[in-house]
Amino acid sequence: MPKNEYVIGLDYGTDSVRCLIVDAANGKEIASSVHNYRRWQEGKFCVPVENQFRQHPLDYLEGLESTVKAALGKAGTNVAKNIRGISVDTTGSTPVAVNRDGTALALLDEFKNNPHAMFILWKDHTAIKEADQINSLAHNGKFEDYTKFCGGIYSSEWFWAKVLHTLRADKKVRAAAYSWVEHCDWIPAILTGNTNPLTLRRGRCSAGHKAMWHESFGGLPPEKFLSALDPALKGLRSRLYRDTYTSDCIAGTLSSAWARKLGLGENVIVGVGAFDAHMGAVGAQIKPYILSKVMGTSTCDMLIAPMAEVGKKLVRGICGQVDGSIVPGMLGMEAGQSAFGDLYAWYRNVLMWPLKNALASEVKSESARRKIIDSVYHSIIPELSKAAAEIPIGESGIVALDWINGRRTPDANQALKGAISGLNMGSDAPRIFRALVEATAFGSKKIVDRFSDQGIEIKGVIALGGVAKKSPFIMQTVSDVLGKKIKVARSEQACALGAAMFASVASGIHKSVEKAQDAMGSGFESEYVPNKANSAKYAKLYAKYSSLGGFVEKESAKK
């Protein structure tokens, strides 16, 4: 392989976008840059109490230009002129309404402040009603069950529920929306200059896991099904897509406009996009039957297996099983938790409220207040972790549920709520925090149990993401609860690294994803080994977690 060939991985997360420049020969990370979404940080267009989370396309475009130029500036001219490819991963399902030209509606003056015209973030749960209606229609026997390849239960986090909810909620957006595009497909379309919704290349990952696309269906669910769901969807299928592409494929080459803007050549290959967790799993060197856990604000649990071995199995209650969605040629299976780090962040914010709201009367200097608040904000989770680690397992009697943002897997139900039981006068902050950590670990075990119950073997676990890198206490708890070793990927930027690997394949540097993983993988930095005595203790708490979950779900169904 020729020397001096570089690729770019762009990783669009919930809070920020990261650009990583990588040497395709050996995976060496040359330079990186991060851009925090300005409007998102300001809390614009989101209504958390209504589960509304929207992101403005300008945040994405500004982040694209800012990070790539900054990373190239650090890397130097020699690297910039030898960039061969760019690939993109994003959160999902995060769709946006576009006009006939493929322009996101929020980029038009008429819609620039309209949340319905913006990207509907993965964790937006405003479409619970629509998801229920999709499930009802798919399971009533009049149609084929178009949910069968996405676990048999359609979620409010996914494409069709969000589209339908928006069309019902906003007549102006409904009139202006010619088509809809996932974030992971939109960025490559922007980079290549082909935003035409009828011809831009749609990724297999987003289509198969979130839009009920499957080859046996002839693509997306048929017009009769969609029209029966709601007349608002009539004709939309013909303005979407039939074919999908795995992420080793080429979306196009860099447009002249973006080449000039970024300082790159027009011959740079742009790969087909996918979701962050899927490319992250590749960056963490996922192998068949090794569960890859992306552990951040939520979790996304990825598993691959040869089609010949598991291709005919239907795994109930997961987030889809799609040929080639993670590694081309393999069946990609996805599961996850709607809240992981978000649960800890919620608790931190609860504890921070008195400090933020009472400090003004005690400390008159705004800069001094800010310094105190920032210091406590960043230290509170580490300090809680230290204290919680000293508390014996089961000593507090507290059991919690991790469903604060609903349940993604197993058996998606975004209407569910979190719960904390067993509180008494001795229930202090570290004991409650420990129960929350145990709840997220138990939620992880529910996923592992579902795969096992459905006949899918899990031979090992690898972890990546912020929680995996930063919290030994949480990771050891998860290892003990699962009763499995967990290897933590060395790369700080596994998702961006995975995107870079796909860029190397799309641009022809490596012949396959597996070859790219072998050449560019960073290996693992640590391993957590389960403590058998702790695992036995957690088994008793897990039974209480399951019992509490059953009670809460039963009560929720009565409403």
Reduced to 3 states, what is the DSSP secondary structure of residue 318?
coil
In a domain, 325, yes or no: no
CA dist 252 and 195 (Å) reads: 11
Alpha carbon distances (Å) from 16 to 34, 114, 405: 7, 21, 20
CA–CA separation, 194 and 113 (whole Å):
25
Output DSSP code: residue 394. Answer: T
- Mean pLDDT, range 450-468, rounded to an integer: 94
Closest residue by Cα to residue 342 from 418, 423, 432, 421: 418
User: Do β-strands 29-36 and 16-23 pair in parallel, antiparallel, or remain unpaired?
Assistant: antiparallel
Judgement on whether residues 102 and 225 belong to the same structural domain of the protein:
yes
Beta carbons of 317 and 153 less than 8 angstroms apart: yes
Q: What is the DSSP letter of 216?
A: G
Given a cut of 90, whether residue 494 has pLDDT beyond it is: yes
Q: How far apart are CA 109 and CA 99, in angstroms?
A: 13
Question: Using one digit for the tens of pLDDT, what is the confidence trace for 525-545?
Answer: 999 999 999 999 999 999 999
- pLDDT surpassing 80 at residue 559: no
Q: Closest by alpha carbon to 63, among 207, 162, 158, 183?
A: 183
Residue 183 has pLDDT above 50, yes or no: yes
CA-nearest of 288, 100, 325 to 195 is: 100
Q: How far is CA 502 from CA 67, 184, 378, 499, in A?
A: 19, 14, 35, 5
Q: Is residue 277 domain-shared with residue 346, that is, in the same domain?
A: no
Query: Quick one: pLDDT band at residue 312, thresholds 50, 70, 90?
Result: confident
Calculate the average pLDDT of the chain: 95
Tokens of 66: 């800012």
Q: Are 149 and 180 in contact (CB under 8 A)?
A: no
* Helices 429-453/341-362 angle, 10° precision: 160
User: Do 543 and 518 share a structural domain?
Assistant: no
Tally of domains within the chain = 2
Q: Is 205 among the domain residues?
A: yes
CA distance 195 to 178: 12
Whether 380 is in a domain gets the answer: yes
pLDDT, mean of residues 195-220: 97
pLDDT for residue 361: 74
**Of the candidates 454, 466, 465, 463, which has an alpha carbon nearest to the alpha carbon of residue 482?**
463
Calpha distance 19→195 (Å, rounded): 22
Residues 377 and 479 in one domain: yes
- pLDDT in the model for residue 1: 43
What CATH number does the domain containing 214 carry?
Answer: 3.30.420.40
**60/56 Cα distance (integer angstroms):** 7
Would you say residue 365 has pLDDT above 90? no
547 inside domain: yes
Confidence of residue 3 (pLDDT cuts 50, 70, 90): low
Confidence of residue 311 (pLDDT cuts 50, 70, 90): confident
Residue 50: pLDDT above 80?
yes
The rounded percent of the chain whose pLDDT value lies above 70 is: 99
119 close to 185: Cβ distance less than 8 angstroms: no
Q: For residue range 497-534, what is the model confidence (pLDDT) as tens digits?
A: 999 999 999 999 999 999 999 999 999 999 999 999 99
296 found inside a domain = no
Q: What is the Cα–Cα distance from 269 to 201, expressed in whole angstroms?
A: 14
- Label residue 181 exposed, middle or buried (CB < 10 Å: 0-12, 13-18, 19+): buried
- In this structure, the answer to whether residues 195 and 83 fall within a common structural domain is yes
Q: Indicate the residue type of 98.
A: V
Q: Are residues 407 and 497 in the same domain?
A: no
pLDDT at 290 over 60: yes
Per residue in 460-493, pLDDT (tens digit) is: 999 998 899 999 999 999 999 999 999 999 998 9
374 is a domain residue: yes
pLDDT beyond 60 at 357: yes
Query: Cα separation of 90 and 77, whole Å?
Result: 28
What's the rounded Cα separation, in Å, for the pair 214 and 351?
A: 46
Same domain, 498 and 538: no
How many Å apart are CA 444 and CA 463, to the nearest integer?
12
Q: Estimate to the nearest angstrom the gap between the alpha carbon of 537 and the chain centroid.
A: 32
Q: How far is CA 266 from CA 484, 496, 500, in A?
A: 47, 22, 18
Cα(343)–Cα(112) distance, integer angstroms: 31
Whether 379 and 469 share a structural domain: yes
Residue 558: the pLDDT is 83
Statement to judge: residues 400 and 508 lie in one domain: no
235 and 150 assigned to the same domain: yes
In a domain, 260, yes or no: yes
213, 257: one domain: yes
Say if 358 falls within a structural domain.
yes
Residues 63 and 183 in one domain: yes
**What tokens appear for 470 in the block?**
């930063």
Domain residue limits at 457: 341-489+529-558
Rounded mean pLDDT, 318-325: 94
Region 18-33: mean pLDDT is 97
For residue 524, give both structure tokens.
């693992």
Contact 328, 517 (CB under 8 A): no
